[in-house]
Amino acid sequence: MTEVEAKKPQESLQDRLAQVVDLLHRHRLVEDLTHRQEGQHQDRVDDLVRRQNLAELQRKLDELHPADIAHILEALPLDERLTVWQLVKAERDGDILLEVSDAVRETLIADMDDHELIAATRDMDVDELADLAPELPRDVVHELMESLDAQQRERMRSVLSYEEDQVGALMDFEMVTIREDVSLEVVLRYLRRLKELPGHTDKLFVVDYDGVLKGVLPIKRLLVNDPEKQVADVMASDPVSFHPDEDAYDAAQAFERYDLVSAPVVDKNGKLIGRLTIDEIVDLIREESESEVLNMAGLREEEDIFASVWKSVGNRWAWLALNLITAFIASRVIGLFDGSIEKLVALAALMPIVAGIGGNSGNQTITMIVRGIALDQVGTGNTSRLLRKELGVSLVNGLLWGGVIGLVAWWLYGNWSLGVVMTAAMTLNLLLAALMGVLIPMTLERLGKDPAMGASVMITAVTDSGGFFIFLGLATLFLL
């Protein structure tokens, strides 16, 4: 869409949000009064004040960058969000829709009719349209497709055909292409004729007559070299490029590693079909890290913090149900030792310590291993070495902390053999945690699953049930 110049922010984002909320509340207050005094002549005065507030708010919004308005919309509860949304000038709707998070975008789109949606999306680039398409009503998508020319429609279909985590879904088509057999002078004149260059153009793509990528001409080189030189003599002929079906996270790693700003996307015949830019990559990295944190707490998807109770329950119940099952299994393990607990009730008070510390230690191991897998540092070649290290760490921690808690148990319950059992159980459960902490993510990885996803529940299930079994089992054998 139209490129908006980012202005130096005069106030911080929080300040601007506070101003908007303040204006909203003044508006709301007047509205409440009006409702209460309905039918009185007070009405017209209030109406005036209300309109003044809204006008001021609208002026405020008009000054803001679309990304800032998007942020404000995300930070407002649904009713206030929609009030602000209706005040935003229609021609900015599209830019803002592209900036907001998925969960909030859904609420905004639900508030627009087909007509408004088509107006907002008409001027979008194909790749932007493709981003929105899955959330738009069918009729709107259909009408938008009709308005595209054959090449654009083809490109849109192509972008939509890739998975969210493939390079093809992230690419845009704003490439500036040149030939290798012209001089830099000719390139400079050509660029001047274009009037505007796409954002993040740090290199031009050099293609032959069939559209096959021959190299890239970094703008830096274009600027510092003699204009008489030929493109072929100045270009980089073997640039980093991507295929549309490559994993987007691998592309992100390459962008980080080689400090790229943009890179060509080519098909299997080497034909240039699009480009990747750092802004999409930054968004991807941010989303990846956020979903990692959310997934660890069992939040399945981005949840609008002002989502309704029912939507939130829907987002969270599966995780709780899963944990309920594992907790129930642990409970049945305890049930096996009814008799032991009845005879020595101290066991009931001590057993959660063994299970809990095992869970913590196991999660530390898993976090290290999952991260190592993500960074390609952990492979099958070094499993045994990692396992030895983690078992060593657990042995030290088990003897150390198990020893401490064993002494405390002896002192509290005046039973030295209970203390020894406690120390032994802690150490064994930490060793179990280390073993499973290495094996679970590596097995998930080998099965082609995401090791970050299920690993944490599994380790907790193992260390809970295992911890109870080890501790109560040892106690039954040696104390009763």
Contact positions with its own copies (CB under 8 A) in 187-216: 188, 191-192, 194-197, 199-202
Query: Is 324 among the residues that bind its own copies (CB under 8 A)?
Result: yes
Distance set, CA 454 to CA 444, 449, 461 (Å): 8, 9, 11
In this complex, which beta carbon is closest to its own copies, that of residue 143 or of residue 302? 302
Of 114-122, 137-145, 234-242, 439-447, the segment contacting its own copies by CB under 8 A is 234-242
CB atoms within 10 A of CB 17: 17
Please pick, from the candidates 98, 235, 341, 442, the single residue that binds its own copies as defined by CB under 8 A. 341
How near is the Cβ of 379 to its own copies at its closest, in Å? 7
Please pick, from the candidates 90, 223, 477, 480, the single residue that binds its own copies as defined by CB under 8 A. 223
How near is the Cβ of 12 to its own copies at its closest, in Å? 8
Q: How far, in whole angstroms, is CA 269 from its chain's centroid? A: 33
**DSSP state for residue 203 in the 8-state scheme:** E
Q: State the maximum Cα–Cα separation within the chain, in Å, rounded to a whole number.
A: 95
Of 56-64, 105-113, 123-131, 378-386, the segment contacting its own copies by CB under 8 A is 378-386
Query: Is 164 among the residues that bind its own copies (CB under 8 A)?
Result: no
Letters for 419-438 (x = contact with its own copies by CB under 8 A, - = none) are --------------------
**# residues contacting its own copies (CB under 8 A):** 137
Spatial distance between the Cα atoms of 103 and 108, rounded to a whole number of angstroms? 9
Spatial distance between the Cα atoms of 397 and 381, rounded to a whole number of angstroms? 26
Give φ, ψ of 348 to 5 degrees.
Answer: -65, -40
Of 35-43, 55-63, 165-173, 222-230, the segment contacting its own copies by CB under 8 A is 222-230
Query: Is 232 among the residues that bind its own copies (CB under 8 A)?
Result: no
User: Which residues pair with residue 218 across a beta bridge?
Assistant: 203
Of 55-63, 108-116, 359-367, 441-449, the segment contacting its own copies by CB under 8 A is 359-367
In this complex, which beta carbon is closest to its own copies, that of residue 138 or of residue 193? 193
DSSP per position, 144-168: HHHHS-HHHHHHHHHHHTS-TTBHH
CB atoms within 10 A of CB 405: 19
User: Which residues pair with residue 204 across a beta bridge?
Assistant: 217
How near is the Cβ of 476 to its own copies at its closest, in Å? 14
Of 84-92, 111-119, 159-167, 389-397, the segment contacting its own copies by CB under 8 A is 389-397
Of 36-44, 119-127, 157-165, 252-260, the segment contacting its own copies by CB under 8 A is 252-260
Query: Is 260 among the residues that bind its own copies (CB under 8 A)?
Result: yes
Q: Specify whether the CB–CB gap between 212 and 259 falls below 8 A.
A: no
Instruction: Tell which positions 264-323 bind its own copies, by CB under 8 A.
Output: 278-279, 281-283, 285-286, 288-290, 292-294, 296-299, 303, 305-310, 312-313, 316-317, 319-321, 323
Spatial distance between the Cα atoms of 330 and 34, rounded to a whole number of angstroms? 59
In this complex, which beta carbon is closest to its own copies, that of residue 118 or of residue 413? 413
DSSP β-ladder status, 203-207 and 177-178: parallel
Exposure class string for 338-372: b at 16+ Cβ within 10 A, else e: eebbeebebbeebbebbbebbbebbbbbbbbbbeb
Please pick, from the candidates 376, 414, 447, 448, the single residue that binds its own copies as defined by CB under 8 A. 376
Spatial distance between the Cα atoms of 206 and 212, rounded to a whole number of angstroms? 8
In this complex, which beta carbon is closest to its own copies, that of residue 97 or of residue 350? 350
Letters for 10-39 (x = contact with its own copies by CB under 8 A, - = none) are --xxx--xx--x------------------
In this complex, which beta carbon is closest to its own copies, that of residue 149 or of residue 376? 376
Q: Specify whether the CB–CB gap between 124 and 151 falls below 8 A.
A: no
Query: Is 411 among the residues that bind its own copies (CB under 8 A)?
Result: no
For residue 288, what are its two tokens? 């990846």
For residue 369, what are its two tokens? 């291993």
Instruction: Tell which positions 70-89 bind its own copies, by CB under 8 A.
Output: 71, 74-75, 77
Angle between helix axes 248-258 and 278-296 (nearest 10 degrees) is 120
